[in-house]
Amino acid sequence: MNFNEFVTDLDGKRCVKCEKDAKFTGVDPKKAWYCQECFIQMVRNKFRSALSKKKIYKDADARETLIVFDGTPSGAFLLHQIDDALKQITYKRLMVKPTVLVLVSVTDPEKIQHVMDRVQDIKTALLENVDWIIAHVACCMYTEVKDFDNTKCNGTEKIPEYIEMLSACTVPTYREELKRIMREKCLQKISEALHISKCMVPDDADILGRLAIDQLCLGRGGSLSPIVTVLDKRNNFMLIRPLCDVSKKEVVIYNYLCGIDKHCIQIAGTNSEVKSVQSLTDSFIRTLEDEKFYSTINTVLSTASKIHNTTSGKDGSHCSLCFIESADDLCATCLAIRKTCTGDLINRFIQ
Amino acid sequence: MSNTIPVTIDFSGGAEFLVKAKAQKVQIPADSTLRDVLKFVRDNLVTDVNRINMLLNDDASEVAHGVITLINDTDTGLLSEYDTVIEAGDTITFVSTLHGG
């Protein structure tokens, strides 16, 4: 079959935006179909509307933003969106002053070097004229504000401490949760050091939907909204999740069609998986999707965005580890995490 | 009449690290369906057998969860899914959402 003469067996399905033959679907194949051009536009619009609805960049003085790149397809998508938005010369130009933060999570020196080599290639193709900083997630272990060097991977000297702290957590579910909290601590520390209060992360709908269920299981149901929606404001730090409505499927098809899938950083690993609430959640969602319940993630996120804590932490007090609203120094979940940790490395995060 | 047809099989989104090359021109039996192509991929193209579960299920009757299949840049969910008959010159693309790293 010739590519240009390809006739689809779609039972007359046409793009929902124009009259061309449909080629791609959104999350639920039964709900909406798009031609290639409209699919790309639809995904791009989801990203732009997540930012514009919250009016995040209405203040002309605070446009500096850390753009987190973690090597994932969603990370490459985020870089491409920022790169594309900055090149616009029309009113659609995104008023943001980006600094790219490459967040490294592998701990093997050879793999870290591989990441640094790949970053050099990616820099020449995307956001070449902005500052790039490479930092290991172990930067969370710094006790003082530190200067960051943009010629090396910052924080590698803290990797042993970071590994020791995670290993000290004896329950796999809490260890996974501690990893997530430490990633946020790391972003907050780097943000403070660079005096950039906004931080854009590549967390997509699939990640956030799973996170919402994980947090329900961990007892943080009352504070779901700031954890999984676009905006998470914390004192002088703001986490922005512009991909919260974009699914992984949409991201990878967009990357494939726009030729940016080559900007991901793949690292060969093992398939070993420890049983935890997080792995069970993932398995639960996969089963539902295999049974063609495609809208589960959307429903979970839509419901989660409406859940706010009305009782605890009304005076503005927060858990010193995970920063959810809490009347006590530690929320019940973080208290349980601390109890399962041997050693005292975790105590440096607790005021 | 030849009983094989030429097709291109393309791998993307990390799936290319599990096979010989990113894009490969191969001959497959005429009247093959997408399901037959999966078995062809398992038997002829996969090199990283330890991680084949990131591309195909156990008996190669379906792709692994998180792998999207396109035929001529059209989602097979809009075609006849695994029963879609492959024609000469078609490009079958496997796009993985499973990131290794």
What are residue B42's phi and psi, to 5 degrees?
A: -60, -45
**Cβ within 8 Å, pair B75-A269:** no
pLDDT in the model for residue A60: 65
Any domain includes A298:
yes
Region of poorest pLDDT, from A117-121, A346-350, B60-64: A346-350
Structure-token pair, residue A299: 């429903």
Question: Is the predicted pLDDT of residue A172 greater than 80, yes or no?
Answer: yes
Cα–Cα distance for residue pair A301/A280, rounded to 1 Å:
18
**Cβ within 8 Å, pair A255-B13:** yes
pLDDT in the model for residue A1: 45
Question: Is the predicted pLDDT of residue A120 greater than 70, yes or no?
Answer: yes
- Give the start-end residues of each E strand in chain A: 24-25, 33-34, 64-69, 97-104, 132-136, 153-154, 198-200, 231-234, 237-240
**Which residues on chain A place their C-beta less than 8 Å from a C-beta of chain B?**
1-3, 6, 8-10, 13, 22-25, 29, 33, 36, 71-73, 106, 206, 248-249, 251-253, 255-257, 261, 264-269, 271, 286, 289-290
Burial class (CB in 10 A: 0-12, 13-18, 19+), A84: middle
Chain A CB contacts of B74 below 8 Å: 6, 8, 23-24
A1, A255, A257 ranked by CB distance to B88: nearest: A1
In CATH terms, the superfamily for domain B9-96 is Beta-grasp domain (3.10.20.30)
pLDDT in the model for residue A313: 52
pLDDT in the model for residue B16: 86
Closest-CA residue to A97 (of A245, A200, A243, A189): A200
Chain B CB contacts of A73 below 8 Å: 13-14, 97, 99
**Cβ within 8 Å, pair A253-B51:** no
Any domain includes A13:
no
> Which range in A142-156, A163-177, A302-316 is most confidently predicted, on average pLDDT?
A163-177
Q: Could you tell me the pLDDT band of residue A339, with boundaries at 50, 70 and 90?
A: very high
- Please give the residue of chain B at the shortest CA–CA distance from A72: B99
pTM for this predicted structure: 0.90
The ipTM value here is 0.90
Chain B CB contacts of A29 below 8 Å: 75, 77-78
Output b/e per residue, A270-306; b: 16+ Cβ within 10 A. eeeeeebbbeebbeebeeebeeeebbbbbebbeebbe
Using CA atoms, how far residue A91 sits from A55, A86, A335, in Å, is 15, 11, 48
- Say if CB A322 and CB A349 are below 8 A apart: no
**Cβ within 8 Å, pair A286-B65:** yes
Chain B CB contacts of A10 below 8 Å: 78-79
Closest-CA residue to A162 (of A93, A239, A107): A107
Residue A100 belongs to domain spanning:
59-265+276-349
Domain boundaries, chain B: 9-96
Using CA atoms, how far residue A194 sits from A64, A80, A108, in Å, is 10, 23, 26
For A55, left (φ over 0), alpha (ψ -120 to 50), or beta? left
Q: Which distant-in-sequence residues (6+ apart) come within 8 Å of A65 by Cβ?
A: A96, A97, A98, A99, A196, A198, A199, A200, A240
Q: Indicate the number of domains in chain A.
A: 1
Residue A93's domain is classified under what CATH number?
3.40.50.620
Cα–Cα distance for residue pair A221/A299, rounded to 1 Å:
15
The widest CA-to-CA distance across chain A, in whole angstroms, is 66
Chain B CB contacts of A36 below 8 Å: 73
